[in-house]
Structure 1
Amino acid sequence: MTAFDPVEETRRHLRQAGRSPKTANSYLSHIRRLAGRFGEKVTNLSGDDLRRYLEELVEENKSLSYINQAQSAIRFFFTKVANKPNPLPGPGVATKKVPLHGIFTREEIKAILSHVQDLKYRLALMLVYSSGLRVGETAFLRRKNVDTEKMVIHVNDRSGKQIRDTILSRTAAGMIRDYLNLRSDDSTYLFPGRGRSSYVSARTIQRAFTEALVASGIDRHSTLGWLRHSFAVHLLEDGVDRKMVQQLLGIATPSMITPYMKLARNRDPLRVQSPLDRFFP
């Protein structure tokens, strides 16, 4: 008996449905990505599983059109190929600018990071949390954009255009020095990829996060983006001004900080550092 091939079955149904070559290629690309992520259990994914998958695309800074195409491809696959009910009724997550479903506690973040065995990926996840980076921004971060003297990260897009500056933690800076001392390659990227890839893929970082989450015993449905959300909420709880948090995150619309404010329930004025302590650290 021939094994079920989700990509080839989707191709066959697209041909039968008379979809245009452009639409077919788009759908096949998304189903190939979905199948690569979930393997044999792809046809058994729940609506919640698929919504979390789409939220990861948002967190990877994929465009709205890309996410809409992914939703359409998933709906076609489940209703036409797998012959199941539509798992994504309604508008889905594509209209959500910030897929903010929750955050980690500080103790949970410490547990997650401590269960990442590979220094490369522990550092990558640490930067997502400690600097508020998106996973895509972390993946293609260049070595020259990390200033361990001024303790700042210059965040660029894939084309090399600078988007914003954000903070670099002293703990992460020390780990970066250790990590670079162990490397023998001359890649300009902080996290080089393998083979033809010039930098590590966002999906590889996602996989490292998932493995650490399971190993840490945190039994909650969460995504890697929660680390970035936690960065924002924990800064607000520590008394950092909301406009500064907005700037560090690279968020254009002030109203998008409001969900973080609602989650910052443990705001404590005693956590604010006195300016005098900056003179005598």
Structure 2
Amino acid sequence: MQTIVTERILYKKEPRLALRFAYDAALVKLVKQVDDAQWSQTLRLWHIPLSEQAYNQLKRLTQEHATLSKGENRIPPKAIQTPVSPEVAEAITAFTRYMAQRRYSESTIDTYKNALKHFLQVTNKPVAEITNTDLEQFNHSYILANSYSFSYQNQVVNAVKLYFKTFYGSRFDVEKVERPRREHRLPNVLSKEEVKKILEAHANIKHRTMLSLIYACGLRRSELLHLKPAHVDSKRGVLTIRNAKGNKDRIVPISERVLAMLREYYKAYQPKVWLFEGQSKGEQYSEYSLQSVLKQALTKAKISKPVTLHWLRHSYATHLLESGTDLRYIQELLGHKSSKTTEIYTHVSITGLKKIRSPFDAM
């Protein structure tokens, strides 16, 4: 019997219930019968209204073919609608100033600021009276009760710990805070044949170059978008990545084949400020447009997997490992602070697994 994992998501700003299950024509036919059931080409999944009526209808229609399993709540926690108290506003301002002078990235500041604000508003107590019990209560009655993700819970814990390290006179003991048990999810990896189809799908040299550079150099999405022409050193055959995650710079090698593609692209587009610019000169290419480029490539390549841009980076690391590249070099190329982060790719590399002979074959 199949299992349908249901996850709460936001689809075009509307709360919906996503359905994740292995393709089964008979099951798809049943899902289609749910009122307002829709297929998302972007997410590569079916979704239905987020209502008790729709859920019960799904359960009734599929009860002989599948069991329903509750997944994560992927709807981002909305800001509490109650007014922010002067004390909370002052705490957020001081916390933001502290992180800025410590040179945390803008995205980290925004994430931690919102997480702390959410915690303080839900807790609704004077900051000086907040204890570790309040954080435990927040985790149980709010995060777990609403099935919010591991990553969001971890963000709250990080923000709260960092804030109370700087807040004097509180009853909160930072050292006694326990983090949620770490998830051990394997990265999604494409085969070399699948990557080749994706990279060759676009006729447009700009689109083809952007996707190729992400895979060829193992770049994060933001790293690609923040590249400037001066970061490409064709004589040395390297790409310099500035202020990447953790405020770190690093260099990665570029093959002559990629350099040739970059030269062709540069002649055609003549970028002024950013290596990849939007419709207007000097305008940075947008994240949304880059995601759209990938989506179009998947459609043209007839790949139905829910591929993201980060899958190309995962595939780059895994293919390097399978070709015999030392893990320490891969760590440097990816810009990982800890070798433990890079070691995850040893669990998805199939080079060694192919050498294992199943006892079934010897029967």
Report the equivalent of 1:93: 151
Residue from 232, 244, 259 that aligns with 2:344: 259
Residue from 32, 36, 44 that aligns with 2:16: 44
- Does the aligned pair in 2 maintain the 1:237–1:265 contact within 8 Å? yes
Identical-residue share of aligned pairs (%): 26
Aligned equivalents of 1:197, 1:148: Cα separation in 2: 22
Residue from 257, 270, 282 that aligns with 1:171: 257
- Does the aligned pair in 2 maintain the 1:144–1:188 contact within 8 Å? no
Report the equivalent of 1:189: 274
Which amino acid letter does the alignment assign opposite residue 91 of structure 1? S
Task: List structure 1 runs of 4+ shifted beyond 2 angstroms.
Answer: 42-54, 61-70, 90-101, 193-198
Report the equivalent of 1:31: none
Residue 249 of structure 2 aligns to a residue in which SS? Answer: strand
Give the number of the structure whose alpha-carbon radius of gyration is greater: 2
Aligned equivalents of 1:53, 1:250: Cα separation in 2: 30
- Does the aligned pair in 2 maintain the 1:131–1:169 contact within 8 Å? no
Report the equivalent of 1:13: none
- CA pair 199-229 structure 1, distance change in 2 beyond 3 A: same
- CA pair 43-125 structure 1, distance change in 2 beyond 3 A: same
Aligned length: 211
- Does the aligned pair in 2 maintain the 1:238–1:267 contact within 8 Å? no
Residue from 282, 290, 295 that aligns with 1:210: 295
Q: Which moved more, 1:207-216 or 1:222-231?
A: 207-216
- Kindly indicate whether residue 285 of structure 2 is the aligned counterpart of residue 200 of structure 1: yes
Aligned equivalents of 1:184, 1:123: Cα separation in 2: 14
> Any stretches of 5+ residues in structure 1 without a counterpart?
1-33, 55-60, 74-85, 269-281
> Any stretches of 5+ residues in structure 2 without a counterpart?
1-8, 21-42, 44-71, 77-105, 119-143, 155-181, 354-363
Which amino acid letter does the alignment assign opposite residue 322 of structure 2? E
Residue 241 of structure 2 aligns to a residue in which SS? Answer: strand
TM-score, normalised with respect to structure 2: 0.50
Report the equivalent of 1:81: none
* Residue correspondence of structure 1 range 11-50 to structure 2 within 5 A: 38-39=11-12, 42-44=14-16, 46=18
Aligned equivalents of 1:203, 1:157: Cα separation in 2: 21
Deviations along 1:194-241, one digit per CA (max 9) or x if unpaired, are 349731012211111112112211121231100000010000001111
Aligned equivalents of 2:251, 2:146: Cα separation in 1: 37
Aligned equivalents of 2:229, 2:183: Cα separation in 1: 29
Deviations along 1:118-162, one digit per CA (max 9) or x if unpaired, are 21121111111000110100011000001112110000138xx76
- Kindly indicate whether residue 108 of structure 2 is the aligned counterpart of residue 63 of structure 1: yes
Deviations along 1:157-203, one digit per CA (max 9) or x if unpaired, are 38xx7611112122211100011111245x13110123497310122
- C-alpha deviation, 1:45, in angstroms: 5.4
Residue 340 of structure 2 aligns to a residue in which SS? Answer: helix
- CA pair 66-235 structure 1, distance change in 2 beyond 3 A: same
- C-alpha deviation, 1:65, in angstroms: 5.4
Aligned equivalents of 1:124, 1:98: Cα separation in 2: 30
Aligned equivalents of 2:282, 2:202: Cα separation in 1: 23
Q: Which moved more, 1:97-106 or 1:173-182?
A: 97-106
Aligned equivalents of 2:281, 2:183: Cα separation in 1: 32
Which amino acid letter does the alignment assign opposite residue 235 of structure 1? L
- C-alpha deviation, 1:265, in angstroms: 1.5
- Does the aligned pair in 1 maintain the 2:241–2:250 contact within 8 Å? yes
Residue from 180, 187, 193 that aligns with 2:266: 180
Q: Which moved more, 1:219-228 or 1:43-52?
A: 43-52
Aligned equivalents of 1:113, 1:220: Cα separation in 2: 15
Aligned equivalents of 1:237, 1:119: Cα separation in 2: 29
**Structure with a larger share of its residues in helix:** 1
- CA pair 180-47 structure 1, distance change in 2 beyond 3 A: same
Report the equivalent of 1:135: 221
Which amino acid letter does the alignment assign opposite residue 147 of structure 2? P
Report the equivalent of 1:22: none
Between the two structures, name the one with larger relative contact order (CA 8 Å, sep ≥ 6).
1
Q: Which moved more, 1:192-201 or 1:215-224?
A: 192-201
- CA pair 224-51 structure 1, distance change in 2 beyond 3 A: farther
Which amino acid letter does the alignment assign opposite residue 43 of structure 1? P
- Does the aligned pair in 2 maintain the 1:51–1:92 contact within 8 Å? no
| Cα RMSD for the two superposed structures | 3.7
**Structure with a larger share of its residues in strand:** 2
Aligned equivalents of 2:113, 2:17: Cα separation in 1: 19
